[in-house]
Each structure stands twice: as C-alpha cells, then as structure tokens.
C-alpha cells in the first residue's frame, strides 16, 4: 500500500510507496496474491533494480498487470503480453455540449458502423488506412516475417476495436469540451505474434533446463536469433497498435462532426500501456517493460481511463525515477471477468450507467465490464499524485464497446 507522511509544503502529505522485498508498490488497494506474483518477476536474475507496481495492479498472466520491469539483456514476452502496444488515444475537439444533438443514439450507431468491434471482427477487405500506413511507415524497412494468416489478420483488422475492455467514448471535460477517447491495441496479429514468441521462449527454457517459479516468465536473451526475431515483431506490433488507434479515430471523428454540424481537432494524445523499449534507468541501459502502465517522463501526456461508468483523466508525467517514469494505465480490475458474471447483476449495471448512451440492450453480454468490477479510479489517481498531474477530468456521455 501507499503510506502518507506530512510534507514540508503547508501540511501537504508526501506519498511513500511501500516496499515488499524487491517490489515497490504505489497501490493502496491491492491483493496479497498480486504482490506475490510481482515478487516472482522481481526475483529473476536479470531484473535491474526493483519491480514498480502501479496503483491499479492486479494479477495477470505471468507478469502482473500494472507492473514496470527493467531487464538487463533479456526480455519476457509474456510481460509485454498478447495485446502488444495496447493503449489509449484521446482527441480534444472544439465542440461543446450545445453542439451535440439532444439524443446520442444515432451517433452511437454511426460510430458502430464506422469502427468494427467484437471478437475477431474487422473489415471485409483491407482499408486505405492500412495501405497508407504500411507504405508510409515500413516501405523499405525490415518487417517481421508474417504467416499468410497473420498477414490477413493484420490487413483486415487494421482500424478495428476488438472486445473486452476496448472502447470508443465521447466525453466532456471540466471545461465542457467534447473529447473522443479510444482504447485498443494490435488486435489479432499482435496476439498471434506474441503467442508464437511466448511459446518459443518456453521451449528454450525446457531445452536449457531452466526452471522458473512461473513458466509464463520464460525469457529471451539478447544476442540470440530468438531475441532478435521477437524484438522485430514486437516493435512492429507496437507501431501497428498506435496507427490502428489513429485509423479508428479518423473513422469515428467524421461521425461526431456530422451530428454536431462540423468541428475541428484541438490536440491528440496517443500512448501505449503494454510495451517494452530500450531506455536508461538508474545508470544503465535496460529493456523497460510496462505491462498495464504508461510512460510518464516529465511532460509526457497520457490517458488514464476509469471504467465505462466513471471518470477518465488526461495527465502529464512528473518523471518520478522510482517508478521508472511510469504511471497506471487505468482503474484496474477488482473482480475477474468470471467473478463479475457470477457476483454482479444486470439491474445494478444499468443503474451505474444511468444517463449515458451505451449498448444497454446488450447489458447481459457486457456484465463483466460493469463499473463495479473495477477499482476506484479516484483512489488510483490519489495514489499516484507523485507520478502524474491531472490536466483534465473526463466524464463519459457515450460508450461503444465490442462484444
């Protein structure tokens, strides 16, 4: 948990993250199992320094969701995860509520038509956005070797949302400015690439008789063909994810501007929260993996969403070295999807979404996304006020989520 001590500035409190062996935690609401899982990653011999645990942390596959791991000459594919480059994009517009129609149902339908969503869903054929990105970003550059199935997924799912907690939202900030906010990643091709390399890493552990506390912490060592192959695929999938978000925004904004009689973009923020990059921390070049965490160097802008029924935040990083210049990626789950379906009720779900335009007729299918299955986003933000400062607070008025 996070402890608070009186600070020097007129009685203000100073946050002190809690140390659990080689894990430094900013979470005041965290299960013991989450801490124990993070300790397993921290005990790997190539981990540099401590594992930083963000205030939204919860148990994940292999590595903890909401963890930041610095590694020397090695990477853990499962720590990046199967949705490589998953992240957020937020667009501030010059619109105000007066420009929006009285009912947002037609806008929800227009966004659903422009942005395919759901398990395995994409476009029937590759879009112009895909061709433009592929030619502009990778013409003449090395790309990972894709199987025919991976290439087909990549082309038809570019510009699509996916399912689970991926969403498109229309929000109002504290100034009554309209924002378009989107959460998605590298879709099926990222999953396929990640899964392939996770299995390769596990195979190497068996070949060299390396025993791990958790087999999903299997790693690849820098300087090997397997490492090079994964890094190439992972970096490509990260860029795919970022451009995928941009393509969906480019498709959804015309729908918003159509119902409001026009409008323009003021600024955009596009950030990953499942990725690894080469960075320098505490005097050493490392592979810095953020699994469910965003980069928060001094001045970095980021997007931290709550659940579909609560607030989201546009933030600016404070560059805290103890967190490896990172912060949380959202509210973090309190209940697993299975627990949410067993413990929560549709009536309570609808009550928590009152006043918002959403797929309420599909409430039973979306029950595992009930806001009650997530942690308190305001507590999460309080726990990390030494990591980021809030620029804008966003309140959702429309939510579109894949099934």
How confident is the prediction for the chain on average, in pLDDT? 93
Would the pLDDT of 9 be above 70? no
Would the pLDDT of 65 be above 80? yes
The reported pLDDT for the residue numbered 147 is 92
What percentage of the chain exceeds 90 in pLDDT?
89
> What are the φ and ψ backbone dihedral angles of 253, each rounded to 5 degrees?
-60, -40
Place of tokens 């070797």: 145
Per the CB < 8 A criterion, the answer to whether 85 and 186 are in contact is yes
Per the CB < 8 A criterion, the answer to whether 350 and 391 are in contact is no
List, as one string, the DSSP characters of 166-187.
-EEEEEE-TT--EEEEEEE--H
Distance CA 186, CA 237 (A): 6
Q: Is 283 domain-assigned?
A: yes
Averaged pLDDT, 134-154: 82
Q: Is 345 domain-assigned?
A: no
Would the pLDDT of 1 be above 70? no
Would the pLDDT of 141 be above 90? no
Q: Is 342 domain-assigned?
A: no
Taking CA atoms, 297 is separated from 10, 235, 317, 378, 383, in Å, by 27, 20, 5, 21, 17
The reported pLDDT for the residue numbered 403 is 80
Distance CA 170, CA 185 (A): 19
Distance CA 310, CA 90 (A): 16
The reported pLDDT for the residue numbered 34 is 97
Q: Is 54 domain-assigned?
A: yes
CATH number at residue 250: 3.90.1860.10
Q: What angle do CA 163, 380, 353 make, to 5 degrees?
A: 50
Would the pLDDT of 319 be above 50? yes
The reported pLDDT for the residue numbered 16 is 79
Per-residue confidence band for 137, with pLDDT thresholds at 50, 70 and 90? confident
Q: Is 350 domain-assigned?
A: no
The reported pLDDT for the residue numbered 7 is 35
Q: Is 307 domain-assigned?
A: yes
Q: Is 48 domain-assigned?
A: yes
Would the pLDDT of 15 be above 90? no
Secondary element (H or E) of residue 378: helix 377-383
Taking CA atoms, 14 is separated from 229, 267, 328, 379, in Å, by 44, 32, 18, 15
Averaged pLDDT, 90-108: 97
Query: Tens of pLDDT along 187-221?
Result: 999 999 999 999 999 999 999 999 999 999 999 99
Burial of 9 (0-12, 13-18, 19+ CB in 10 A): exposed
Per the CB < 8 A criterion, the answer to whether 57 and 27 are in contact is yes
Per the CB < 8 A criterion, the answer to whether 347 and 389 are in contact is no
The reported pLDDT for the residue numbered 11 is 37
Is the model more confident about 402 or about 182? 182
Would the pLDDT of 2 be above 90? no
* Overall residue count recorded for the chain in this entry: 403
Per-residue confidence band for 12, with pLDDT thresholds at 50, 70 and 90? very low
Would the pLDDT of 6 be above 70? no
Averaged pLDDT, 348-371: 96
pTM: 0.94
Query: Tens of pLDDT along 260-297?
Result: 999 999 999 999 999 999 999 999 999 999 999 999 99
For 386, the domain range is 3-334+374-401
What percentage of the chain exceeds 70 in pLDDT?
95
Q: Is 219 domain-assigned?
A: yes
Would the pLDDT of 10 be above 70? no
Number of domain units in the chain: 1
Respond yes or no: is residue 329 known to be catalytic: yes
Strand, helix or coil at 102?
Answer: coil
From the list 20, 272, 329, 392, the catalytic residue is 329
């Amino acid at each position: 948990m996070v402890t608070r001590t009186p600070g020097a500035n007129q009685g203000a409190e100073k946050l002190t993250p809690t140390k659990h062996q080689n894990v430094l935690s900013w979470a005041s609401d965290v299960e013991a199992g989450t801490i124990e899982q993070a300790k397993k990653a921290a005990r790997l011999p190539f981990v540099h320094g401590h594992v930083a645990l963000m205030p939204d942390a919860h148990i994940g596959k292999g590595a903890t969701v909401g963890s930041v791991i610095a590694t020397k000459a090695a990477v853990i594919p499962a720590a990046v995860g199967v949705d490589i480059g998953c992240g957020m994009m937020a667009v501030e517009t010059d619109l105000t509520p007066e420009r929006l129609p009285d009912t947002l149902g037609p806008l929800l339908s227009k966004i659903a038509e422009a942005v395919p969503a759901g398990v395995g869903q994409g476009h029937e054929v590759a879009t112009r956005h895909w061709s433009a990105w592929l030619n502009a970003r990778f013409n003449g550059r090395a790309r990972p070797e894709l199987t025919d199935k991976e290439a087909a997924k990549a082309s038809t799912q570019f510009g699509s949302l996916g399912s689970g907690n991926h969403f498109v939202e229309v929000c109002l900030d504290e100034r009554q400015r309209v924002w378009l906010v989107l959460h998605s990643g590298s879709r099926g091709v990222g999953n396929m690439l990640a899964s392939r390399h996770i299995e390769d890493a596990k195979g190497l552990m068996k070949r060299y008789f390396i025993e791990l506390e958790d087999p999903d912490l299997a790693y690849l060592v820098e300087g090997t063909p397997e490492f090079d192959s994964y890094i190439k695929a992972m970096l490509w999938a990260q860029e795919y994810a970022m451009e995928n978000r941009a393509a969906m925004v480019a498709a959804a904004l015309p729908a918003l501007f159509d119902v409001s009689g026009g409008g323009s973009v003021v600024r955009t923020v596009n950030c990953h929260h499942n990725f690894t990059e080469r960075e320098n921390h505490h005097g050493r070049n490392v592979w810095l993996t953020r699994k469910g965490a965003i980069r928060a160097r001094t001045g970095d802008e980021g997007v931290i969403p709550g659940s579909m029924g609560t607030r989201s935040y546009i933030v600016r990083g404070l560059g805290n070295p103890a967190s490896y210049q990172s912060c949380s990626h959202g509210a973090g789950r309190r209940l697993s999807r299975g627990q949410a379906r067993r413990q929560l009720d549709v009536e309570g779900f609808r009550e928590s979404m009152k006043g918002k335009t959403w797929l309420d007729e599909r409430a039973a299918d979306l029950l595992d996304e009930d806001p009650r299955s997530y942690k308190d986003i305001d507590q999460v933000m309080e726990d990390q006020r030494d990591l980021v400062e809030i620029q804008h607070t966003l309140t959702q008025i429309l939510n579109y989520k894949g099934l």
